[in-house]
Chains A and B, each alone.
Chain A
Amino acid sequence: MKPIHPTARILSLTAALLAGGHAMAQATGPQATGVQSTGVQSAGAEIEQGHAAFVAKGCYECHGLAGQGARGVAPTLARSRLPLSAFQAYVHKPGGQMPPYSAKVATDPELEGIYAYLQSMPASRNASSIPLLAAYVAGSPGPLIKARSVAAAPPAQPAATSAEGAGVFRQNCAACHGADLEGGVGPSLQAEASKRTVAQIAAFVKDPAPPMPKLPLTQHDLEAVAAYIHGHKS
């Protein structure tokens, strides 16, 4: 589903809902949201109802209003590429510490609406376009305390990972597989090198088995991210 409204509108609606506090949460319960299915209402209405459900179900408490996630609490949802069926299945029976939201508590139509809302979020600003963050993306400002090289040490080995692949991974894979490939919604990839070659990883990412979604990556990006996953050393 394509984004159909700007961030500002989503966020102003959120602010209005939050202003109601607990009353808001009650007013936007399953009956109030009234999500039925995508086939009987406009996409815009479905997204708004999905957003109301996102707030009423308390999704934002852990995942944030922009689906940004919070360190040590919950992963980001804003970049999730899970297909709808996998999303619904995960919410009903999640892994880890996320509480289960049964079909009684969060119906499939409601989750469809939440999914539509999440998918409608416009891409967030790239960190490189934000002056206060750009330096980190370009490379950290550099250590103020310089590392001393060990005396008589030979030249350092080249990096085992591709910086290019790391960026592709961060943008497309980390939300499910973890920033360090440790797993999360998706499985850990830390031991992939012992299971698959670089070419096999690239082939899997290009044509994945469900529930992993197909990612819109160029061949160049596919190869880079496969090299990154295969060469990842903790």
Chain B
Amino acid sequence: MTVGAPKPHRRGFLKGSLLVGAASAASGASAASAAAAPEPANAPPPSSERAHNETGPVHTEVASEAQVVNPGSDIMVDLLRQAGIQYVAAMPGSTFRGLHESILNYGGNKAPELITCVHEEVSAAMAHGYAKVAGKPMACLVHSNVGLQHASMAIYNAWCDRVPMMVLAGNELDAASRRPGVEWVHAQTDLATMVRDFTKWDDSPVSIQHFADSFQRAYELSTTPPYEPVLLVVDTELQEQPVENRAALRLQKLSTVSPPGADPAMVDRVAALLVAAKSPVIVAERAARTPAGLARMVELAELLNAPVIDKFGRLNMPTDHFLSQTFRQDALIPSADVILGLEVSDLYGVLNSMADLPIRKSRSVVDPGAKIVAISAVYGLMKGNTQDIQRYAATDIALDADAETCLPQLIDSVRRQIRPEHHQAIAAREAPLRAAHRDMRAGAATDAALSWEVSPIGTGRLCMELWAQIKDLDWALVSGASFASQWPQRLWDINKHHQFIGDSGGYGVGYNAPAAAGAALAHRDAGRLPVVIGGDGDLMILPGTLWTLAHHRIPLLMVIQNNRAWHQETMHIQRMAGRRNRGVENARTGTLLTDPNIDFAQMAHSMGVWGEGPISEPEHLAPALARALAVVKAGKPALLDVITQPR
């Protein structure tokens, strides 16, 4: 650290660097063919003249007394390493320059490795997607209030999706140490307040010992179900000042907290209801946190021959299992006599129906005598301001416990309580459910055939052409596909936990591309081939994700389901216009992404990603997918722009 010299204004400094890099990449891309996208180049450093203009004179000689040994940020790297954090995603910012440098030079940029992002929302969303595949958090570094505001949308998604994440936010806490000007503007007395409604815990440590203790606590809380993001403010002075006596620090070991289980007597009551039920139904959203959880879900469902409605927060039931009956919810819920909800965020929405009509009325869709049971660790978590708590749903039994943790207990209790007189009823459910599963999938295939030949390409055809080419590989879908009519969940054989990680949680558009990139990073480490079916509107939020994919050589097949609109909103405006009897001719203004059409392949090229498209004819799709897959198999990202039906 150069005492007395003005601190560089990192935002402007690096922006200049990026502009130089982007210009060179763009000029290269204009002549590049799709098959020969330019290798990503490192941005050149700013010229000395530019650096001088932005930062003042750069001192190349430093007095020995101005040098710092044992900076606090080295300890922070030790803590990250001890926690097993493999990656730290960041867009650079001066409030964490000390930690940034320690990651590179003290830690050797390995475990943790810095993942360079071009927006803090990309950083946080990558951490979101990564955690769902890797089963552990990664960290994202954000630059004080400006960076945290950028990251906040992705943190909210992670909160709603019950995902662990370590958010480290730089800040200059000591006002007396701030230089006049930007350092005051980029500082906050209570930085965490802007995300406190959707983080599990936060702290602003004022000493390295305090930081070490709070880091351990933050990690522990984030990784104890219900998983959630946590935030630690990382004071710049703590990072940059020396630790005078490192031996005096007490760096405690990281402990693991057993997830919350349930009262065995209550579990027995739940099991008794399930065993005695004539038509039990299991509804699961984020019940299976791990592969073991998925296996337990199958075990419970098979013991009872109980159909499972998967709300697809994670993969809770293999889609090719006959008890996976998700798309029969409208038939199953009304006829159920026991409904078991496992980590369901909106139980009210399962038990009731409320149409989008001028007068909002809800009606129960369950049998009045049905018993409702809910098991969720979220009972003890929610906050008042954030409304992802959903409408209150009355239950007959509710357990404040982690569903996956409870499953072995519940399975054991069900086994103990099944008597010979139950066998016939349980067995009798199997054949109809097998037939219904066959019919459900046959119906989906029949529906997919309806738009098989259509141009723009039907989403059913898009998904099935993709499935045909990946099904024999070690694949993983890293998007939810809800805007693609859920064709993958309806027709693909998704039977491994890592093959499906759900959606954003918070419905915050912009999630798909960066979360897929984070998930793909974890899949790269596991040697798998990830694919994402993402919308055009979604990619337009954070297109810079493409650059990170190319820069870090993260293989990912990105299929853009390009309906040239924020189509969900088109339907909303059309609904308003119809309701008001004003005609629908103007209803698409403001929701279309046309005039000009966006050239996503060129966008990909400009950031060093292989790209092809637009593909709008069905017969052109399979060969284009094959070309894109070849790129991904070679270890690089690829984007295929497919013009599709609205849904």
Contacts and interface: CB of A to CB of B under 8 A. Distances in A.
A82 B441 CA distance: 26
A215 interface: no
A69 B458 CA distance: 11
Interface string A128-147: 00101100110111111101
Contacts, number: 245
A40 interface: no
Given A140-B437, A143-B322, A56 B431 contact: no
B428 interface: yes
A149 interface: yes
Contacts of A170: 439, 442-443, 446
Given A145-B298, A154-B423, A180-B330, A7 B431 contact: no
B584 interface: yes
Contacts of A144: 318, 320-321, 493, 495
A138 to B, nearest CB: 8
B439 A99 contact: no
A127 B448 contact: yes
Contact of A163 (B435, B445, B564, B584): B435
Interface of B: 279, 298, 302-303, 305, 318, 320-323, 327-328, 330-332, 334-335, 355-357, 418, 420, 423-424, 426-428, 430-432, 435, 437-456, 458, 460, 464-465, 467-468, 485-486, 490-491, 493, 495, 564, 567, 570-571, 574-579, 581-589, 592, 594-595, 616, 645-647
Interface string A24-35: 011001000000
A3 interface: no
A125 B452 contact: yes
Interface string A46-85: 0000000000111011101111111111001011000000
Interface string A96-122: 111111101100000000000000000
A65 B452 CA distance: 11
Contacts of A15: 455-456, 616
A181 B443 CA distance: 13
A73 B571 contact: yes
Contact of A64 (B334, B437, B451, B571): B451
B232 to A, nearest CB: 40
Contacts of B464: 132-133
Q: Which 9 A-B pairs have the closest CB atoms?
A: A99-B578, A180-B331, A70-B647, A136-B445, A68-B450, A234-B331, A21-B594, A153-B427, A234-B335
B320 A141 contact: yes
B450 A150 contact: no
B38 to A, nearest CB: 32
B443 A174 contact: yes
Contact of A78 (B302, B450, B567): B450
A156 interface: yes
A11 interface: yes
B454 A65 contact: yes
Nearest to A6: B453
Contacts of A56: 585
B441 A25 contact: no
A36 interface: no
Given A29-B585, A68-B451, A143-B322, A150 B418 contact: yes
A99 B577 contact: yes
Contacts of A141: 320, 493
B302 A147 contact: yes
Interface of A: 7-8, 11-12, 15, 18, 21-22, 25-26, 29, 56-58, 60-62, 64-73, 76, 78-79, 96-102, 104-105, 124-127, 130, 132-133, 136-137, 139-145, 147-161, 163, 166-167, 170-171, 174, 178-182, 190, 233-234
24 contacts: A18-B456, A22-B589, A22-B592, A25-B585, A29-B583, A64-B645, A66-B451, A66-B645, A71-B447, A72-B486, A79-B450, A98-B578, A99-B574, A99-B575, A100-B578, A127-B445, A136-B445, A136-B491, A147-B430, A152-B423, A154-B423, A154-B427, A156-B427, A170-B443
A56 to B, nearest CB: 7
Contacts of B647: 62, 64, 70-71, 73
A179 B443 contact: yes
Contacts of A65: 451, 454, 456, 645
Contacts of B468: 132
B571 A61 contact: yes
A142 B428 CA distance: 19
Contacts of A21: 564, 588, 592, 594-595
Given A76-B450, A174-B443, A97 B438 contact: no
A139 B438 contact: yes
A163 to B, nearest CB: 7
A100 to B, nearest CB: 6
A150 B303 contact: yes
Contacts of A143: 318, 320-322
Contacts of A18: 456
A125 B467 CA distance: 20
